[in-house]
Chain A
Amino acid sequence: AQTVTQSQPEMSVQEAETVTLSCTYDTSESDYYLFWYKQPPSRQMILVIRQEAYKQQNATENRFSVNFQKAAKSFSLKISDSQLGDAAMYFCAYNGFNKFYFGSGTKLNVKP
């Protein structure tokens, strides 16, 4: 069965520093998509970044980048130059064929 595991329930980072959030997944599919979503307190979930499994190049969106290791089934998110507005819950998500799974989330605190 496909699962998504986020092993860090909570992390803290100093403003302007870099932080990496971990995610591993289990799947038997060869074609799928991976996402990181951000959920600020009491606000709706928004997409941060996505990765297509058949693309070897790691996705990048401004200060956000991923380290996608397909063989290891690992998909970590790196946030550079952290800002106070980055404080939120971050969810790793897997989209396969009729399969949609989310991890349990990592709460990111940003210290001024």
Chain B
Amino acid sequence: DTGVSQNPRHKITKRGQNVTFRCDPISEHNRLYWYRQTLGQGPEFLTYFQNEAQLEKSRLLSDRFSAERPKGSFSTLEIQRTEQGDSAMYLCASSLMTGGYEQYFGPGTRLTVT
């Protein structure tokens, strides 16, 4: 098992552009989570999926953000009309439904909005 992977690792975009990130979880994990982490802070929860169903969304996830997990496998996080405040590390994690919900994190996608 290769763990959680995220692509791209880095993304630089101009304000107003749309960006999409991909996360591939550990294959047998039912749950997939998206977090945002800014420098010097802990991860902030954005949303999570159980299989293909999106079960919870944070108030941080504005209308410009959308996440999908078709067929309960990989997931995408799209940010439309990016703003400079969107600059952050976007982390993906996955877990089994049982076992205390231990989350395994990917390396993250660093977004810079210029």
Contact = CB atoms under 8 A, between A and B. Distances in A.
Interface residues of A, number: 23
B110 to A, nearest CB: 10
Contacts, number: 51
B103 interface: yes
A52 interface: yes
B55 A100 contact: no
B25 interface: no
Interface in B3-47: 33, 35, 40-45
Given A44-B108, A45-B91, A102 B103 contact: no
29 contacts: A4-B42, A6-B42, A33-B100, A35-B102, A35-B103, A43-B107, A44-B105, A44-B108, A45-B43, A45-B91, A47-B102, A47-B104, A50-B100, A50-B102, A91-B42, A93-B42, A95-B103, A98-B56, A99-B45, A100-B33, A100-B45, A101-B45, A102-B35, A102-B44, A103-B42, A104-B40, A104-B41, A105-B41, A105-B42
Interface of B: 33, 35, 40-45, 48, 55-56, 91, 93, 100-108
Interface of A: 4, 6, 33, 35, 37, 43-47, 50, 52, 91, 93, 95, 98-105
